[in-house]
């Protein structure tokens, strides 16, 4: 198994572009879209931090050291990569409402930088997932492809969306996390934090297999008999329910999406042709081992939308030949999956 997004089938046809991303951190800008306004009072200092060359865990550790608190006092909604410029929120629990000088938190170095963009008091610690999504501004360099074909592909993505694959970040190099999950299910002992990561990788591999099968069949954004639907912007599902005129209109408006399984205990919610497709994609020896392992861990059957449409997709060709693309995605979606529909877009240093 190799769940690298580059080998998954594309919904929009053959590649139209090859390019490099993350040539510099500034070429990959990510900004969290906030899911709430600060309360203005409370014991938690809510910081909006812009950072370069450091991941979220490293930034949280630095904030904890600056505040003189343990890392457990730091909250953040999501994880951001090191090789990027990222803007995200952190909370710091300060019961006495006394914070050190914000200027002393700033860092400016050759490879790393951190600055405070905004700050306010808030009533609660920031929990994981407390964001409305992420906005990306990406610069693709060494772009090789016919501009008219690239522009047409981007217009198709804006109109139709893309398959909502889990990105390659979830799986590690060459699918190592899935291999490790199989070993864990076979009896190998792992640390608790590793276990959570490997369970996510196993579930994501299963979902990607089902979605890939539906992309090959041309029904990733169209329903099968026995389809389960998900409301856009939520995890709420309903069905199985056959397509009728009302659902057809909602599907066209991106108000609802077909779904695939996040594997766990219990029966599949889908029925008919949808269930047959899902079980057919998950019937080989490795998939059966992953299914059994996830069930043994007690995870429950859940669903994920098969379709993803980037919001506010815009692009421009720069004078230096680079392609700049901007769009927003909901939580749990991957910018690399959007780029994968263009063709072979790789980070420098990851050629293999």
Q: Which residues are catalytic?
A: 81
Three-class HEC string of the chain: CCCCHHHCCCCCCCCCEEEEECCCHHHEEEEEEECCCCCCCCCEEEEEEEEECCCHHHHHHHHHHHHCCCHHHEEECCCCCCCCEEEEEEEEECCCCCCCCHHHHCEECCCCEEEEEEEEEECCCCCCCCEEEEEEEEEEEEEECCHHHHHHHHHHHHHHCEECCCCHHHCCHHHHHHHHHHHHHCCCCCCHHHHHHHHHHHHHHHHHHHHHHHHHHCCCCCCCCCCCEEECCCCCEECCCCCCHHHHHHHHCCCEEEEEEECCECCCCCCHHHHHHHHHHCCCHHHHHHHHHHHHCCCECEEEECEECCEEEEEEECCCCCEEEEEEECCCCCHHHHHHCCEEEEECCCCC
């Amino acid at each position: 198994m190799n769940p690298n997004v580059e080998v998954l089938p594309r919904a929009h046809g053959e590649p139209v572009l090859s390019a490099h991303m993350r040539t510099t951190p500034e070429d990959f800008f990510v900004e969290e879209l906030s899911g709430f306004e600060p309360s203005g009072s409370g014991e938690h200092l809510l910081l909006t931090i812009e950072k370069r060359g450091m991941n979220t865990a490293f930034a949280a550790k630095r904030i904890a050291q600056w505040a003189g608190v343990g890392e457990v006092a730091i909250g953040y909604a999501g994880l951001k990569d090191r090789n990027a410029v990222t803007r995200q929120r952190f909370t710091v629990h300060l019961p006495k409402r006394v914070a050190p000088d914000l200027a002393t938190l700033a860092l400016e170095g050759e490879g790393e930088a951190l600055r405070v963009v905004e700050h306010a008091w808030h009533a609660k610690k920031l929990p994981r997932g407390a964001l409305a999504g992420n906005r990306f501004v990406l610069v693709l360099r060494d772009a090789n492809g016919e501009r008219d074909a690239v522009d047409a592909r981007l217009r198709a993505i804006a109109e139709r969306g893309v398959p909502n694959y889990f990105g390659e970040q979830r799986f590690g190099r060459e699918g190592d996390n899935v291999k490790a999950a199989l070993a864990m299910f076979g009896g190998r002992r792992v640390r608790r934090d590793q276990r959570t990561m490997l369970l996510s990788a196993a579930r994501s591999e299963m979902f990607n297999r089902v979605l890939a099968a539906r992309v090959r069949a041309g029904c990733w954004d169209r329903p099968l008999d026995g389809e389960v639907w998900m409301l856009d912007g939520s995890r709420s599902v309903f069905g199985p329910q056959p397509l009728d005129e009302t659902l057809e209109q909602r599907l066209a408006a991106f108000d609802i999406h077909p779904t695939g399984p996040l594997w766990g205990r219990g029966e599949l919610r889908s029925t008919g042709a949808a269930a047959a497709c899902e079980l057919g994609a998950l019937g080989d020896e490795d998939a059966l081992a992953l299914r059994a392992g996830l069930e043994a861990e007690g995870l429950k059957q859940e669903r994920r939308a098969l379709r993803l449409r980037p919001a506010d997709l815009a692009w421009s060709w720069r004078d230096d030949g680079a392609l700049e693309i901007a769009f927003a995605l909901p939580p749990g979606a991957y910018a690399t999956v959007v780029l994968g529909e263009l063709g072979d877009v790789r980070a420098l240093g990851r050629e293999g």
